[in-house]
Amino acid sequence: MSSQNHFPCLMVRRNAAGAVACGVEQLTIDDLPPGDVLIQVSASSFNYKDALACRAHEGIVRSLPHVPGIDAAGRVVETTSSDFRPGDPVLVTGYDLGSAAWGGYSAFIRVPAAWVVRLPAELTAEEAMTYGTAGFTAAQCVERIVNHGITPADGEIVVTGATGGVGSLAVALLAKLGYTIAAVTGKPEQTPLLRELGATSILARDEVADATDRPLLKGRWAAAVDTVGGKVLATLLRSTAYRGCVTACGLVAGDQLPLTVYPFLLRGVTLYGIDSAKCPRTPRLEIWRRLATEWKLEHLERLRREITLSQVPAAVEEMLAGQTHGRTLVRPHV
* DSSP label of 37: E
Q: Could you tell me the CATH number of the domain that includes residue 212? A: 3.40.50.720
Does one domain contain both 226 and 196?
A: yes
What is the reported pLDDT for 119?
98
Does one domain contain both 99 and 215?
A: no
Does one domain contain both 195 and 248?
A: yes
What is the reported pLDDT for 322?
87
pLDDT digits (tens, 9 = 90+) for 268-306: 999 999 999 999 999 999 999 999 999 999 988 888 999
293 within a domain of the structure (yes/no):
no
What is the reported pLDDT for 3?
53
* DSSP label of 204: E
What is the reported pLDDT for 214?
96
Does one domain contain both 209 and 143?
A: yes
What is the reported pLDDT for 297?
97
CB atoms within 10 A of CB 79: 20
Looking at the structure of the chain, the number of domains it has is: 2
Does one domain contain both 266 and 308?
A: no
Rounded CA gap, 99 and 49, in Å?
Answer: 9
What is the reported pLDDT for 334?
66
Does one domain contain both 205 and 260?
A: yes
pLDDT digits (tens, 9 = 90+) for 98-146: 999 999 999 999 999 999 999 999 999 999 999 999 999 999 999 999 9
80 within a domain of the structure (yes/no):
yes
Domain of 41, in residue numbers: 7-119+300-331
pTM, entire model: 0.95
Name residue 232's amino acid: V
What is the reported pLDDT for 16?
84
What is the reported pLDDT for 30?
96
> Which one of 254, 273, 292 terminates a domain?
273
Listed residue (321, 300, 47) closest to 187, CA to CA: 321
137's enclosing H/E stretch is helix 125-147
Rounded CA gap, 277 and 53, in Å?
Answer: 15
290 within a domain of the structure (yes/no):
no
Q: Could you tell me the CATH number of the domain that includes residue 66? A: 3.90.180.10
> Which one of 273, 289, 312 terminates a domain?
273
What is the reported pLDDT for 17?
87
163 within a domain of the structure (yes/no):
yes
What is the reported pLDDT for 212?
92
Does one domain contain both 263 and 145?
A: yes
In terms of Cβ atoms closer than 10 Å to its own Cβ (0-12, 13-18, 19+), residue 237 is: buried
Does one domain contain both 101 and 13?
A: yes
63 within a domain of the structure (yes/no):
yes
What is the reported pLDDT for 15?
87
Pairing, β 221-226 against β 201-204 = unpaired
What is the reported pLDDT for 1?
52
281 within a domain of the structure (yes/no):
no
118's enclosing H/E stretch is strand 117-118
Does one domain contain both 260 and 187?
A: yes
95 within a domain of the structure (yes/no):
yes
Residues in the chain predicted with pLDDT less than 70, given as ranges, are: 1-4, 334
